Amino acid sequence: MSTWTYSLKFSLRSLARELVRNIWGRAFVYPALAANERAPSRLADYAARRARKLGVALDGDAGALARLAPGTPVLTKADVRRDPQRLVRPRGPGSWLRTTIKTSGTSGSPLTIVQSVGNLVREEGFVYRQLRWIGWRFGQRRAWIRGDIVCADHPRDGRYWCRDWIGNMLMMSSYHLSGDTIGRYIDALERFDPVVIHAYPSSIAALAAWLNAAGRRYRGTALRGVMTSSETLEPDVRAAVEKAFGTRVYDWYGQAERVAAIGTCERGSYHVLTDYSGVALLPTEREDGACELVGTTLNNAAMPLQRYRTGDTVIPHGPDEPPCPCGRAFPTVRAVVGRQEKIVTLPDGRLVARLDRIFQGHDRHLVEGQVLYRGAGEFVLRVVATDGFTDADARALVDKFLLRVPGVQVRVERVDAIPRGPNGKFEFIAIADGGAGR
């Protein structure tokens, strides 16, 4: 495919999204969300009204995060995988039109979630509010450096990006970042001069490290913020990006199950968006006081998950923590600590991270999966699978991997179990002794 073909593909996708969800999310959902920001009573009434509409119960109110007592009944990912249809409601007003979300989750266990089209529309309203916190306005330029395949394996013109003309976005590959290519990424970004850069933390960290090592700063003049998501934003990465790009990093937390969302304001605080979902904290035994997020949807009428354990943890503020000076009514947390992933450095200098999409759509016979890097460009896809997992399924996994990381060796290995770490999760990307990574 040529760059023009990729551009056409993403432009048509943006047009479809604009017509189906984005216009309605901005026009009808966002105004109510904006009114909630600095009005605690309005925020509480809004959350309670949404809970009644979906027939779910909330723990506590929208102005604070309730702590669940030990033994409180919760819904787990295993429960959803075991009998998902039990959680799907009959079609009715607000849920006639439906679609599905394929996710690998933070533990590499694929899952399918049924969602109403109204949930998609409402999601756009919340993302639009976060973008407005950054300073972006509809129609302004954006850049995108995430898990999309936006160019050929080896583009002849050396452009690892394409244009989304409808969305006014520069779509950049997160799979071709290396010491040899990053300079071209920076040049392309400076020419396009986006107002917001959307990126995985690992992707924007690579660009920032290159700039800082070269002793130069990003020269775009329109940039108002970098919006990161899908991976944990470490403090040193935030500092490096803000130094290199001269702007604030706005971190966004969400998940495919759509039961919790956390947005960053211009003061750098993490606000738990309690008009997005009902969120409670489940204490853990970690020494840093981290709690697991347990969420109840306020948006998905097709499959409303209640008290769902996300598997992700946050560090809550102490009881004497003053409110955020931004003045917003949402409760805050000190940090989001889930989703750490390793980054693999290939022999040709490419940086590989965030490979969760490899296992998406294989939840029927695949229990969980892990990417193991053995070094020298050799990968093993470890899978725990049922008897229905076939050689064709294994080939499909290999093909999806090579589509994102071309020019490497990869094979599938079936295992009985994947070892867990101290927090009960395994590493999604594991690096064998002698493999290059961090």
For each of the chain's 438 residues, which pLDDT tens digit applies?
A: 789 999 999 999 999 999 999 999 999 999 999 999 999 999 999 999 999 999 999 998 899 999 999 889 999 988 998 888 899 999 988 889 999 887 765 555 678 899 999 999 999 999 999 999 999 999 999 999 998 899 998 898 889 999 999 999 999 998 888 878 899 999 999 999 999 999 988 889 889 989 988 899 999 999 999 999 988 888 888 999 999 999 999 999 998 899 999 999 999 999 999 999 999 999 988 778 899 999 999 999 999 999 999 989 999 998 888 999 999 999 999 999 865 566 788 998 887 876 766 777 665 677 678 899 999 999 999 988 878 889 999 999 999 899 888 889 999 999 877 765 544 445 778 888 756 555
Identify whether 109 is part of a domain.
Answer: no
pLDDT, tens digit (0-9, with 9 covering 90-100), for 348-372 = 888 787 676 677 766 567 767 889 9
For 282-323, write each residue's pLDDT tens digit: 998 877 889 999 999 999 999 999 999 998 999 999 888 899
Amino acid at position 20, single letter = V
CA–CA separation, 262 and 224 (whole Å): 19
Q: Is residue 250 located within the same domain as residue 204? A: yes
Residue 215: count other Cβ atoms within 10 Å of its Cβ.
6
Residue 423's pLDDT is what? Answer: 40
Residue 305 sits in the same domain as residue 386 = no
As a whole number of angstroms, the distance between CA 142 and CA 187 comes to: 15
Same domain, 318 and 402: no
**One domain, residues 172 and 235:** yes
C-alpha angle 246/251/252, rounded to 5°? 145
Query: In 10 A of CB 334, how many CB atoms?
Result: 16
- Max CA separation in the chain (angstroms): 59
359 in the same domain as 281: no
Whichever domain contains 413, its CATH number is 3.30.300
Residue 208's identity, in one-letter code, is A
Phi, psi of 56 (to 5 degrees): -120, 160
Helix (H, G, I), strand (E, B) or coil at 244: helix
CATH number reported for the structural domain that contains residue 40 in this entry: 3.40.50.980
Strands (E), 140-187: 142-146, 161-164, 169-173
Q: Do 243 and 153 sit in the same domain of this protein? A: yes
- Whether residues 249 and 364 share a domain: the answer is no
Q: Which two tokens stand for residue 273?
A: 């968006």
| Prediction pTM value | 0.81
321 and 392, same structural domain?
A: no
Question: What gap in Å lies between CA 375 and CA 191, rounded to an integer?
Answer: 36
Helix (H, G, I), strand (E, B), or coil: what is residue 15? helix
Indicate whether 227 belongs to any domain.
yes
Domain that holds residue 356: 344-431
Last residue of a domain, one of 306, 335, 364: 335
Last residue within a domain, chosen from 335, 363, 394: 335
pLDDT of residue 300: 96
HSE at residue 340, side-chain half, CA atoms within 13 A, is 14
Cα(421)–Cα(4) distance, integer angstroms: 45
**Residue 203 falls within a domain, yes or no?**
yes
**In this structure, are 282 and 135 located in the same domain?**
yes
